[in-house]
């Protein structure tokens, strides 16, 4: 889908459909909306005055302009809620709401207009507003239907080919263009993460993820290094090898390097759990809902989605991405409870539960990242069921060894509508993963499961500045928001890119 700014007045532009946001309880405004309403001989203000359209979030109304009043064939009113509640998330949702309605109508191109983003205390910069709108458009048009032999009408509406943002003031138009560039790249990165997440375990294998990473590298001039069993062996990555030993699928350690910052500048690092199917292994999971464990690579998917966006935006910064990828299956060769393994870091690990496998593959990946001497490393992982109990589906858990980094990530997530909320890492929690027989054990039991999992990771980061996002509750879901659909959400791709944008600035 192509999104472009058209330097024209919205009251003059002939289009199959013009989408216009309407705020709750707000008078028809100055600026484009007011002029449009005037041109429509007060059609919109009359509908609002009669109470037929309230402007509530998610509300839409299709209107045919009065004969000869204005050039658009159709007007789509899109509710944007109270003006004082306006933020990027409101626009992201409104844009996605519009795109879904338009697709249902079978219209392939439509236009919209950015207005009312400049008023009051809730002023959004035009570029930020356009960024959110572009992102909402791209996310809202996402469908995962590649395994449907015959697309069904509801899930597969007409594919949109383009959206035009109408703005005749040159200076504004330029700002909208810069926002669209970022929002478009973000949306595409998030959609890539969604697709990788939604792909079933028999397709999105570790080799598949590695091939996708190589594709990103060649598209955007990054360096890809892919480790298979032999290289993992040579690097003494005992933990990744242990998790994968029960599976026919070979493990991969995927490394992408985007080096567009100063040559001697230390990079920042992103790490994502790429467990392509988690049965639990010998400590096998119940059958009920086990199909959801295809989403256990969503941390890795978000890292790849973020790298694609970073590449597309050509951000002037050095970023290293590492995705350890494996299956976790039971077999005659599988890792067993009681086994003791040696990690890349050198620490020995007693396996209490083979279902606590994510922390094992991440331990080796985090330990490996030390060689890049990153300024900071952030990992994302569908790591614990416990996290879903603590925070539900509204926020990722955020933990780490540096309060400033945690705050930086929390605020970045808050800005882009991907919330992350801190959990404490008091030293006492560390006691739960002390082992009788090895340096550490891989399960601390049920109490504070997300915190002891993070403590486990912390044992492998050395002196790096590190933070961890447990995305077990946020990486996939029912698709309740306008810009979501059932399955992988793409989170925390947006948070990652927002963090990197902040570091690149
Ligand atoms: N991938 C799971 C965590 C998970 C559970 C993600 C539910 C999304 C939804 C992880 O590998 C796991 O199984 N964790 C165990 C750890 C336990 C054995 C210490 C868990 O949370 O039960
Ligand atoms: Mn598991
Ligand atoms: Zn897992």
pLDDT tens column, 48-93: 999 999 999 999 999 999 988 989 999 999 999 999 999 999 999 9
Residue 128 CA to residue 183 CA, distance in Å, equals: 9
**Angle, alpha carbons 441-268-474 (nearest 5°):** 60
Ligand 3 center to 359 CA (angstroms) = 8
Q: Could you say which DSSP state residue 250 is in? A: P
| pLDDT value at residue 34 | 84
Distance CA(474)–CA(494), nearest Å, equals: 12
Query: Is 486 known to be catalytic?
Result: no
User: Which one of the ligands is nearest to 387 CA?
Assistant: 1
What is the distance between the alpha carbons of residues 433 and 277, in angstroms, rounded to a whole number? 25
Q: Note if 56 is an active site residue.
A: no
For the segment 246-281, what is each residue's pLDDT rounded down to a tens digit? 999 999 999 999 999 999 999 999 999 999 999 999
Q: How far is the CA of 385 from the centre of ligand 1 (A)?
A: 5
With the most atoms of ligand 1 within 8 angstroms of its CB, the residue from 385, 388, 454 to mutate is: 385
Out of 92, 273, 359, 441, pick the active-site residue: 359
Which letter does DSSP use for residue 260 in this model? -
Measured in degrees and rounded to the nearest 5, phi and psi for residue 99 equal -65, -35
C-beta of 358 in contact with ligand 1 (< 6 A): yes
pLDDT single digits (tens) 402-420: 999 999 999 999 999 999 9
Say if residues 243 and 251 touch (Cβ distance below 8 Å).
yes
- Considering the entire predicted model, what is its pTM? 0.97
Least confident window among 41-50, 199-208, 345-354: 41-50
- Binding site membership of 385 for ligand 1 (Cβ less than 6 Å): yes
In contact, 384 and 353? CB cutoff 8 Å: no
The CA–CA distances, whole Å, from 101 to 18, 98, 106, 482 equal 12, 5, 9, 11
d(CA 448, CA 398): 13
Which range, of 78-87, 214-223, 421-430, 433-442, averages the lowest pLDDT?
78-87
Beta carbon of 69 within 6 Å of any ligand 1 atom: no
Residues 6+ away with beta carbon under 8 Å from 68: none
Question: What is the distance, to the nearest Å, from the Cα of residue 352 to the centroid of all Cα atoms in its chain?
Answer: 32
pLDDT at 240: 98
Q: What spacing in Å lies between the alpha carbon of 444 and ligand 3's midpoint?
A: 15
Per-residue confidence (pLDDT) for residue 119, from 0 to 100: 54
Cα-flanking dihedrals φ and ψ of residue 97, to 5°?
A: -60, -45
Q: What are phi and psi of 86, to 5 degrees?
A: -60, 125
Among 383, 389, 450, 471, which is best to mutate for testing ligand 1, by the most ligand atoms less than 8 A from CB? 383
- Distance (angstroms) between ligand 1 centre and the Cα of 279 equals 10
Which residue of the set 285, 342, 419, 430 is catalytic? 285
Q: Are β-strands 162-166 and 2-6 bridged in parallel, bridged antiparallel, or unpaired? A: parallel
Ligand 1 atom closest to Cα of residue 357: 11
The predicted structure's pLDDT at residue 33: 80
């Amino acid at each position: 889908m192509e999104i472009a700014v058209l330097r024209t007045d919205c009251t003059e532009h002939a289009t199959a459909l013009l989408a216009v946001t309407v705020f709750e309880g707000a008078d028809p405004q100055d600026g484009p909306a007011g002029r449009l309403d005037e041109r429509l001989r007060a059609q919109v203000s009359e509908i609002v005055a009669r109470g037929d359209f309230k402007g509530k979030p998610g509300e839409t109304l299709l209107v045919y302009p009065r004969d000869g009043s204005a050039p658009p064939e159709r007007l789509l009113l899109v509710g944007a809620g109270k003006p004082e509640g306006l933020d990027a998330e409101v626009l992201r949702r409104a844009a996605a709401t519009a795109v879904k309605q338009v697709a249902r109508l079978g219209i392939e191109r439509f236009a919209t207009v950015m207005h009312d983003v400049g008023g009051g205390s809730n002023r959004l910069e035009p570029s930020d507003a356009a960024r959110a709108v572009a992102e909402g458009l791209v996310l809202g048009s996402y469908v995962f239907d590649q395994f449907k032999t015959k697309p069904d009408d509801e899930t597969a509406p007409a594919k949109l080919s383009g959206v035009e943002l109408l703005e005749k003031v040159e200076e504004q138009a330029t700002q909208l263009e810069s926002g669209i560039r970022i929002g478009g790249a973000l949306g595409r990165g998030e959609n890539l993460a969604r697709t990788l997440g939604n792909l079933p375990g028999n397709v999105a294998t570790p080799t598949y993820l590695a091939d996708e990473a190589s594709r990103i590298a060649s598209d955007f001039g990054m360096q890809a290094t892919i480790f298979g069993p032999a290289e993992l062996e040579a690097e003494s990555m005992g933990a990744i090898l242990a998790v994968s030993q029960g599976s026919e699928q070979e493990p991969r350690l995927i490394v992408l390097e985007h080096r567009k910052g100063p040559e001697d500048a230390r990079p920042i690092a992103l790490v994502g759990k790429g467990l392509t199917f988690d049965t639990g292994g010998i400590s096998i999971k119940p059958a009920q809902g086990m199909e959801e464990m295809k989403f256990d690579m969503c941390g890795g998917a978000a890292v790849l989605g973020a790298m694609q966006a970073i590449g597309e935006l050509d951000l002037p910064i050095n970023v290293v991405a590492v995705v350890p990828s494996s299956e976790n299956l039971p077999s005659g060769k599988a890792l067993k409870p009681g086994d003791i393994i040696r990690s890349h870091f050198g620490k020995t690990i007693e396996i209490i539960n083979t279902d606590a496998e994510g922390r094992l593959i991440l331990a080796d990946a985090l330990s490996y990242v030390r060689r890049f001497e990153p300024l900071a490393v952030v990992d994302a992982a569908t790591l614990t069921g416990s996290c879903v109990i603590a925070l539900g589906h509204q926020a990722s858990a955020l933990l780490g060894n540096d309060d400033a980094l945690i705050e930086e990530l929390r605020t970045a997530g808050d800005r882009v509508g991907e919330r992350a909320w801190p959990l404490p890492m008091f030293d006492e929690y560390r006691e739960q993963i002390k082992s009788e027989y090895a340096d550490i054990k891989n399960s601390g039991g049920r109490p504070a499961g997300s915190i002891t999992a993070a403590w486990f990771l912390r044992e492998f980061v050395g002196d790096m500045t590190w933070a961890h996002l447990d995305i077990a509750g946020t990486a996939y879901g029912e698709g309740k928001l306008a810009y979501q659909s059932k399955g992988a959400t793409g989170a925390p791709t947006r948070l990652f890119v927002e963090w990197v944008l902040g570091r690149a600035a």
